[in-house]
């Protein structure tokens, strides 16, 4: 544990996506792109699903801890995008749906149509994670309409 209740460095590394969250421009987009690259390289839905569930759990915990120190939905925290992208990509097959899914996810994450914006009102780590999970769900629904599966 860190001194004086400070968040341990490991949690900051996890929550910021190995420091991607500190990039000065579009850290959430970069984190989503890195996730897309990992998905493309691994090409195993079960492994990606496992990574998604793991990052979801780690994200809830680390985002919750960091929200106490950095305030609600701190910009450097990108584990929420990583978890949501892994869970989205675990359900798609092929590069084209993956790329379209990435674009749709980013659009929904930026525009935040209801209930995404409302989910941001959920306190602490759950709220940080929830809005991106809903954005991924919206992206998946649109992918179903576009690619019929």
**Whether residue 71 has pLDDT greater than 90:** no
pLDDT at 1 over 80: no
DSSP assignment letter at 7: P
Quote the tokens at residue 97.
Answer: 């749906």
- Quick one: residue 26, left, alpha or beta (phi over 0 = left, psi -120 to 50 = alpha)? left
pLDDT of residue 149: 56
pLDDT at 120: 82
In the prediction, which pLDDT does 3 show?
A: 40
pLDDT digits (tens, 9 = 90+) for 83-128: 999 999 999 989 999 999 999 999 999 999 999 989 888 888 888 9
pLDDT of the residue at 121: 85
Residue with tokens 């990606």: 48
DSSP string of 74-131, one letter each residue = -TT--HHHHHHHHHHHTT--SHHHHHHHHHHHHHHHHH--TTHHHHTTS-HHHHHHHH
């Amino acid at each position: 544990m860190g001194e004086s209740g400070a968040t341990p460095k490991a949690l900051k590394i996890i929550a910021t996506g190995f420091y991607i969250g500190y990039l000065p421009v579009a850290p959430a987009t970069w984190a989503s792109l890195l996730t897309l690259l990992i998905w493309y390289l691994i090409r195993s839905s079960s492994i990606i699903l496992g990574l998604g569930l793991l990052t979801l759990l780690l994200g809830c915990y680390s985002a919750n801890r960091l929200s106490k120190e950095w305030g609600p939905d701190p910009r450097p925290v990108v584990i929420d995008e990583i978890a949501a992208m892994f869970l989205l990509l675990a359900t798609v097959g092929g590069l084209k749906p993956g790329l379209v899914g990435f674009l749709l996810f980013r659009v929904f994450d930026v525009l935040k149509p209801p209930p995404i914006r409302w989910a941001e009102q959920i306190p602490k780590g759950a709220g940080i994670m929830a809005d991106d999970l809903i954005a991924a769900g919206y992206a998946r629904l649109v992918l179903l309409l576009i690619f019929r599966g």
